[in-house]
């Protein structure tokens, strides 16, 4: 084998190995949470529309910049109807139901199992009527 061919073969081998490593790295990172910042300002969620893939962990970091407490509750219409008439003062037990004190931030990690459209709402008195809600679309991943 000539030196030129040996160098070319070595280069091809290195490129193949690097490509395989990049693919393996991408696969291993696919289980790492996607990070999404949500800001509450003037009793509004920003962004008010979020899209995430099904089956992938998502960490929501919710920043409450208001001088009042809020909630971030994600679910379907049935869940929101229960919260509209419920009496839970604080939400900490479920990753899709979070209370955020004034001028603080909270993180929660959720993996949505199937595609669909959900809403996130603050159910503190008067907040939903004021417009404190958003849409979360779970895509086919």
Sign of CA dihedral 133, 136, 137, 138: negative
Instruction: Check: pTM over 0.85? Answer yes or no.
Output: no
Where do the domains of the chain lie? 1-30, 34-139
pLDDT, block means (10 residues), the chain with 141 residues: 45 43 46 96 97 97 98 95 80 90 98 97 95 97 66
Q: State residue 113's pLDDT score.
A: 96
Domain covering 34-139: architecture: Sandwich (2.60)
Q: State residue 29's pLDDT score.
A: 61
* CA distances to 43, 44, 63, 126 from 66, in Å: 7, 10, 9, 15
116: left (phi over 0), alpha (psi -120 to 50) or beta: left
CA gap 72, 116 in Å, rounded? 18
- For residue 130, the SS3 value is helix
Q: State residue 91's pLDDT score.
A: 78
Q: 111 near 53, Cβ under 8 Å?
A: no
Q: State residue 141's pLDDT score.
A: 66
């Amino acid at each position: 084998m000539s030196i030129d061919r040996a160098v070319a073969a070595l280069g091809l081998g290195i490129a193949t190995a690097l490509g395989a490593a990049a693919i393996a790295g991408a696969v291993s990172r696919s289980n790492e949470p996607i990070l999404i910042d949500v800001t509450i300002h003037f009793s509004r969620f920003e962004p008010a529309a979020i899209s995430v893939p099904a089956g992938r962990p998502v960490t929501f970091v919710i920043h409450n910049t208001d001088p009042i407490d809020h909630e971030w509750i994600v679910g379907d219409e049935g869940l929101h109807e229960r919260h509209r008439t419920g009496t839970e003062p604080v939400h900490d037990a479920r990753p899709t139901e979070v209370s955020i004190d004034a001028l603080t931030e909270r993180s929660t990690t959720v993996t949505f199992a199937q595609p669909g459209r959900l809403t996130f709402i603050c159910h503190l008195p008067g907040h939903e009527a004021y417009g404190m809600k958003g849409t979360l679309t779970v895509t086919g991943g």
